[in-house]
Amino acid sequence: MIELRKADQRGRGEHGWLSSRHTFSFANYYDPKQVGFSDLLVINDDRVAPARGFGKHPHRDMEIFSYVLEGALEHKDSMGTGSVIVPGDVQLMSAGTGVAHSEFNHSANDPVHFLQIWIAPNVKGAQPRYQQKHIADEEKRGKFRLILSPDGADESLLLRQDARVYAGRLDGSETAKLEVGADRYVYVHVARGSVKLNGVELGEGDGARIRSERELSFSDGHDAEVLVFELRNIEVSELWS
């Protein structure tokens, strides 16, 4: 079963220097039907003006990763990490017992467009850690590259949850398939462009909750960049029970 979440149904946050779209409930946007999916709690699609950004603020017990689509994002945190994240990079911060960080547009002239995504961890009170890896475009071209996993398979970043995240690029005649376990949920987010998923067309910013589908088939991409989240088959309410 594929349940669509269209881009224009997302929450909106307009703050002058920041234009944000919230797939799930976040900050001032709340929809009781959109409070995450399995362990996936946040997908924020953010565009930040030049030289602006999010000042230092704390997190705890959350797996937070950033995926830059255009521009450059500057990261600093209380672990002493400082980095600039550009398209192709995957950055994962495991907040654990607590970490504070800031995120700013690294450019004084150009906007930055990125996704910030939160996944609930399977352990609380762990040691905070930071990971970043560049994945070349050809590793995602016409296929799905594992970028986050609980075991670091295929040189993916280590995620503290029974979840796997894939990134793929499709255009023109390129096609790709993913096999899904019978006991798994999946969330698909189209970061840019458009693509067909099992014959259903998804545009930029669209998402899909997927249950009881063993094979995902992607085709007819138009400059598509897609993230696929393979998740536990639990509902969000079970996280807090």
Please tell me the distance from the alpha carbon of residue 24 to that of residue 58, in angstroms, as a whole number. Answer: 20
Predicted TM-score (pTM) of the model is 0.96
Q: Kindly list the averaged pLDDT for each block of 10 residues, start to end, along the chain of length 241.
A: 96 96 96 96 98 94 97 95 95 96 96 98 96 96 98 97 98 96 94 97 98 95 98 80 50
Report, in angstroms and rounded to the nearest whole number, the Rg of the chain calculated over CA atoms.
17
The pLDDT of residue 236: 78
List of E strands, the chain: 2-5, 11-14, 18-22, 40-48, 53-59, 63-70, 73-77, 82-85, 89-94, 99-105, 112-119, 129-134, 144-149, 157-158, 164-172, 176-179, 184-197, 200-202, 207-210, 215-232
The pLDDT of residue 120: 97
Please tell me the distance from the alpha carbon of residue 153 to that of residue 163, in angstroms, as a whole number. Answer: 12
The pLDDT of residue 48: 98
Indicate which CATH number applies to the domain containing 219. 2.60.120.10
DSSP 28: T
Q: Are 35 and 29 in contact (CB under 8 A)?
A: no
The pLDDT of residue 182: 84
The pLDDT of residue 1: 87
CA triple 233-68-86, angle to 5 deg:
135
Q: What total number of domains does the chain contain?
A: 1
The pLDDT of residue 232: 97
The pLDDT of residue 235: 86
Task: Give the domain range for residue 44.
Answer: 2-240
